[in-house]
Structure 1
Amino acid sequence: MPKKNQSYDNESISMLKGADRVRLRPAVIFGSDGIEGCEHSIFEILSNAIDEAREGYGKEITITRYSDCSVQVEDHGRGCPVDYNPKEKRYNWELVFCEMYAGGKYHNDENGSYEYSLGLNGLGLCATQYSSEYMDVEIHTGETKYTLHFEHGKNVGGLHSEPSTAKSGTKIRWKPDLQVFTDIQVPAEYYMDTLQRQAIVNDGLKFVFRSQNGNSFDTQEFLYENGISDHVREEAGEDALTTAQFWQAERKVRDRADKPEYKVKINVALAFSNKKHLIEYYHNSSWLEHGGAPDKAARNAFVYQIDSYLKQNSKYNKNESRITFADVEDCLILVISSFSNRTSYENQTKKAITNKGIQEAMTEMLRHQLEIYFIENPMEADKIAAQVLINKRSREDAEKTRLNLKKKLTSNMDITSRVAKFVDCRSKDNTKREIFIVEGDSALGACKQARDPDFQAIMPIRGKILNCLKADYDRIFKSDIITDLIKVLGCGVQVKSKANKDLSSFDIENLRWNKIILCTDADVDGFQIRTLLLTMLYRLTPELIQQGKVFIAESPLYEIRSKDEIYFAYDEVEKERFMKQLNGQKFTIQRSKGLGENEPDMMNLTTMNPATRRLIQVMPSDAAATGDVFDLLLGDNLNGRKAYIAEHGREYVDELDVS
């Protein structure tokens, strides 16, 4: 209960000031107080350097990742303005580094400092400074060198200057503050991905990434002389369906009739392929992970124009439904990079734009260019139309198959009437129920008599099941053995394929068993069947392994009988131990029989009875290693399998079933 003496009145309202606006609420500015927010704070500094280079000042930007998590960005631009600003009656360095919403990018006219910029909001440099443990700034103008030092969002020592003839540019080194962010260990992969994307959309601008490794630095460079055109050609490869296209346009647009007019520049590179697909959107160099306006424009234009072409050329079958964007994007490699001097981002992290004017201009431009392209390149237009129709019809066929399979796997019929030879148990308590997956009808008979019918059920399998690593999902689910097993388990399947995602109806709460026990003979055939069953579970229901629900019933290799006792040895070591223990006594030893040949009481003792049986739990910690072995021995890596057999085959010679 809240304290009764607390009041909420005119003195209860407070305002965050200065650095606290970022340090106490970093997620408001950077989208997160975790590693993503820290990454975005780094991008804000990088974006200023990119804006300078795009205006023609500098052709190279170097970003350094130090082992102590500090970062340095160095450009060769004009140098950040720091001198006294008579208009604002303050020094520019104070405005840029210590004031939110201050910068050189607020001009709405065409005479502003930057025509198109990443940092339109004026938050980045100041916000990153505020969120730093320290920040050191070195600025060269060609005549003067300026230095600044900040600690925890506050300037220390003011502005220092000295004469210098070094080339102009700005170098900023800072360390994100762990008092602000929960994690500052930004991986090298983030820098490399970001710099590659920036190189793609900034033609001819070289990015140098240096990552400290001990006392040296690993260096990587990113440069695309022709920007998005080079990127699309690189992705499409030599065997694309069509040649790569590059289109460019500039428009003056409005987001609403009563809103001011602004400029937008649109660059589009694309190709069609039946092997690869890729769609990327950028605005003012920022990667639009969630798209927004460009994505809506592309969906509209490509579907409209390709659908029109299919209709005009009678490519559709009678009464056939029209294409969707899913059919187009499966064979489309598209990169759109747009720029505008007025941008409406979905939020400060700039992952989507919402400008209506940009969307309308882009839609019109794409429709027009696609129409001209199809007219001027009829052979390529035919290839595109044919591939999109193939994608559409394959999608529709797969959809029918998925719906039929989903119905088959999730039928509400009584399970005993729809799975042949399945023997259920009496208990309805899923925390006690066990299912034994056994090999063949003979084992079914023995296990059925040996089980405890209150909580133990039996599911026989007929022969060797399909290798689920080498088969596609459609083939897997045509196997009655596998679909019967999935029905009996009750929890559905985990399907990773995008094309079959509708089948992924897995819910461990619907699992009907506490233990899933694989019970096969202790011979070569039994081991193979067990491996194939584990492969099926690994491919279709890996969560069951992760949750420790899968077990192997360990069958004894030998029965050792003395006058008074029967001993079961599960390996050679145990056999030797029992024989030494019986030294001086008469005993007989024989290889243990297969499951179907055991007497029910023997079966109960060795396999079914929780008090005397041995179960091996399939541990989740082994799942990755097991997966690698499955992939090697049962997957498509034929050369790897040959190499493994050549190296290790001699270790298994004694176990070969050859005469």
Structure 2
Amino acid sequence: MPKKNTEYGNDSISQLKGADRVRKRPAVIFGSDGIVGCQHSIFEILSNSIDEAREGHGDNIIITRYKDHSIEIEDFGRGIPVDYNEREKRYNWDLVFCELYAGGKYNTNNGESYEYSLGLNGLGLCATQYSSEYMDVEIYRDSMKYNVRFEKGEIAGELQKEPTNRKKTGTKIHWKPDLDVFTDINVPLEYYTDVLKRQAVVNDGILFILRNETDKGFEEQQFKYQNGIVDYVNELAGEDALTPVQCWQGERRGRDREDKPEYKVKLQVAMCFSNRFKIAEYYHNSSFLEYGGSPEKAVKSAYVSMIDAYLKQNNKYLKNESKVTFQDIEDCLILVSSSFSTQTSYENQTKKAITNKFIAETMTEFLKHNLEIYFVENPEDAAKIAEQVLINKRSRENAEKTRLNLKKKLAGSIDIANRVQKFVDCRSKDTSVREIYIVEGDSALGACKLSRDSEYQAIIPVRGKILNCLKAEYDKIFKNDIIIDIIKVLGCGVEVKSKLNKELSSFDLDGLRWNKVIICTDADVDGFQIRTLILTMLYRLVPTLIEEGYVYIAESPLYEITSKDKTWFAYSETEKLECIKEIGSAKYKIQRSKGLGENDPDMMWMTTMNPETRRLIAVKPADVEATANMFDVMLGDNLAARKEFIADFGHLYLDAVDVS
């Protein structure tokens, strides 16, 4: 390919300026240019209002979701400063709305700054303005009302101000995310309800009012937790928790490194144990930490350490028993952590994890200390927790043992000590050419064995009609010798798409020993039913083999037509008529094709096994769900659907009914 005639020189370097810094690269700030990024831009505005309320300026925030996908957030804080800034030589309203890395949260020595803040980087308000189709701002402070409008990241007119009699200060921002920036701005209602509930949980006593515009007007929801995470954990646990809710609070000072500045951390954890429900949520400076980070690390370390120590001290472990893991504890733990710090290291601007070393260390020590006291002062609770954690541990280990044993049973190597009954292997070990024929009965096994190319074609017989896997439970399926034999021979294990049986899943496509899995049954009613049962079994246990095109049906001829020295095989009534037409006036003999077990080896090779002459139908469902529905109609418990199908289509199959 010829090289493009382009030069990379001094003039190749360019710099994004003004609003283009966000509008052309929104994912850098918001983590995505899709709906997730749009949602994060909304949270940036909300977080500023929350910071104001948490500092004691206003106790309610109103969020309005409009039908046109615009948003309005109103708080009753102090109102954004707007006047001229002598130090920066610009108006403050211009700085906060039009300059990245500008805000009131950098100088922690300033009495007016925020001690604990959601927004620390000075990016959110400006970045959201830059990414908006328009933004209208209304500010109340100093007995004045200020208005300013922005369009496409640019100022659309100077700041307007007028006196006002309104007593409450605050800020109202109405904006619409720009489809030129985000690929999707239709933020679902569920996002707002989820975020506002979470913020109510970790901001005690603040009322969040959500107004959602519909065709009938505005629908309103309110979110408030007077006692914050304690009320929330009580709500989650219900009335039948294993232990009462505990809440621990504390403050610490420290630094992430010796040469780094000292900062303050406020810790609050509410928790209880339950044998019915589990959840662990982490918040920092009221931001939900989806990926946890330092607080999650602390919880894992502290809980494993203290519960393991309790179990050892009280001789709860069996002899040579392994120690508990956090998974065993987490399965019965309800915990919400809400921490605040004057300095925060977020993993990135989206604030889904924090990485402060000191927070991880001090929270670990904080939790260990409180757990130790809790266990000493509440011996009955401690005993209940220990018992439940050990139950979880031993259940997990038994499930893992069952899974590994099943995996070994299903995917173990086929050797002399573990040979599948009547399985006939081929010589080649090259999985790109190996074929496995699943045939109907021992007689078909004999005929196929004599007819095959033993270099790459193997055979396993199905003895009678196998279990209907669509209707059977997994424990019954895995006790069926025929099914286990087939799965062993396939070598790839099973896909168990059931929550109750997920530990039994051991599927590995790389373990498949075959290039083709070929179902070969007689061309009669019994053969069709056996073929359907085999397909159902494969669909239920190894659907990926069907979806990836590994499963085939070997089509058997219906008629054998001979004329003089020539033989024709017809696979349908239409083909039979075409053969007769081709023979013309010559005498011919036509007979129904025999079962596979009655065919001579040459005929079997020619019609069923020779790649040059056989007919294979690839089983490749374009719509897996539709396939499952048809299996359910024909073989499942959906009797009404089966009756309807017979009523609609039964007349098409009257000729095939085996009645006299």
| TM-score under structure 2 length normalisation | 0.81
Relative to 1, partners in 2 of residues 1:473 and 1:145: Cα closer, same or farther, differing over 3 Å?
Answer: farther
CA displacement at 1:421 relative to structure 2: 2.4
**Counterpart code for 1:150:** F
The aligned counterpart of 2:302 is: 301
1:199 touches 1:223 (CA, 8 Å); kept in 2? yes
Query: Match of 1:108, as an amino acid?
Result: T
**Does the aligned pair in 1 maintain the 2:132–2:177 contact within 8 Å?**
yes
The 5 Å alignment of 1:138-149 reads 138-141=138-141, 143-149=143-149
Given that residues 415 and 487 in structure 1 are in contact (C-alpha distance below 8 angstroms), is that contact kept between their aligned partners in structure 2? no
Aligned to 1:108: 108
Residue of structure 1 aligned with 2:508, choices 506, 509, 516: 506
Change (3 A) 1:545 1:215: farther
Q: Distance in 2 between matches of 1:413 and 1:578?
A: 45
Matched with 1:549 is 550
2:127 is aligned to 127
Amino acid across the alignment from 1:46: L
Shift of 1:125: 0.7
- Cα distance per residue 1:143-193 (max 9 Å; x no partner): 443322223322121212334456544333333344444554544444443
Q: State how far apart, in whole Å, the 2-side matches of 1:390 and 1:410 are.
A: 30
Q: Which deviates further from its counterpart, 257-266 or 309-318?
A: 257-266
Matched, 1:516 2:505: no
**Does the residue aligned with 1:352 lie in a helix, a strand or coil?**
coil
CA distance in 1: counterparts of 2:659 and 2:234, whole angstroms: 55
2:366 aligned with 1:365, yes or no? Answer: yes
Partners of 1:376 and 1:215 in 2: CA distance: 56
Distance (whole Å) between structure 2 residues aligned to residue 554 and residue 479 of structure 1: 27
Instruction: Quote the Cα distance in structure 2 between the aligned partners of 1:580 and 1:134.
Output: 77
Q: Does 2:557 correspond to 1:537?
A: no
Q: Hey, what's the Cα distance between the residues in 1 that align with 2:7 and 2:540?
A: 60
Deviations 1:502-537 (A, max 9, x none): 9646235x5444432333456776566545544443
* Aligned 8 A contact 2:273 2:334 in 1: yes
> How many corresponding residue pairs?
649
How far the C-alpha of 1:54 sits from its partner, in A, is 2.8
Corresponding position of 1:151:
151
Separation of aligned partners in 2, 1:19 and 1:343: 27
SS in 1 for 2:623: helix
Provide the secondary structure at the position in 2 that maps to 1:291: coil
Partner of 1:344 in structure 2? 345
Aligned to 1:485: 486
Whether 2:325 is the aligned partner of 1:324: answer yes
**Contact in 2 for aligned 1:105/1:112 (Cα 8 Å):** no
**Helix, strand or coil at the partner of 1:621:** coil
Counterpart amino acid of residue 332 in structure 1: L
Residue 399 of structure 1 corresponds to 400
* Residues 1:190 and 1:621: Cα distance change in structure 2 (over 3 Å): farther
Listed one character per residue, the Cα deviations across residues 355-409 of structure 1 (whole Å, up to 9, x for unaligned) are 2332233222222322233233333322211121122222233333444444455
- Secondary structure of the residue aligned to 1:149 is strand
Q: Note the C-alpha offset of 1:64.
A: 1.2
Partner in structure 2 of residue 264 of structure 1: 265
Of 545-554 and 284-293, deviating more is 545-554
User: For the residues of structure 2 that align with 1:633 and 1:143, how far apart are their CA atoms?
Assistant: 76
Determine the structure 2 residue equivalent to 1:37: 37
Question: What percent of counterpart residues are identical?
Answer: 64
CA shift at 1:463, angstroms? Answer: 4.6
Task: Assess if the C-alpha contact under 8 Å between 2:203 and 2:228 holds in 1.
Answer: yes
> Judging changes above 3 Å, is the alpha-carbon distance between structure 1 residues 242 and 591 closer, same or farther for their aligned structure 2 residues?
farther
Give, in angstroms, the shift of residue 296 of structure 1. Answer: 1.3
Structure 2, unmatched stretches of 5+, are none
Equivalent in the alignment of 1:136: 136
What is the CA–CA distance in structure 2 between the aligned matches of 1:450 and 1:621, rounded to whole Å? 33
Which residue in 2 is equivalent to 1:50?
50
Pairing 1:562-573 to 2, within 5 Å after superposition:
none
Question: How big is the shift at 1:316?
Answer: 0.7
What secondary structure is seen at the aligned counterpart in 2 of 1:517?
strand
Distance 1:6 1:370, change over 3 A: closer
Pair 1:543–1:420, CA change in 2 (3 A): same
Q: Relative to structure 2, which stretch is displaced further, 89-98 or 26-35?
A: 26-35
1:275 has 2:259 as partner? no
- CA–CA distance in 2 between the matches of 1:116 and 1:336? 16
- What value does the CA root-mean-square deviation take over the aligned residues? 4.5
State the distance in 2 between where 1:271 and 1:633 align: 49
2:326 equivalent to 1:312: no
AA in 2 matched with 1:506: D
Q: TM-score scaled to structure 1, two decimals? A: 0.81
> Contact conserved, 1:63 with 1:210, CA < 8 A, in 2?
yes
SS at match of 2:622: helix
- The one-character-per-residue Cα deviations of 1:322-374 (angstroms, maximum 9, x if unpaired) are 11112111222222121222211122221111223322332222223222332
Report whether the alignment pairs 1:95 with 2:88: no
Letter of the 1:485 counterpart? I
**Helix, strand or coil at the partner of 1:353:** coil
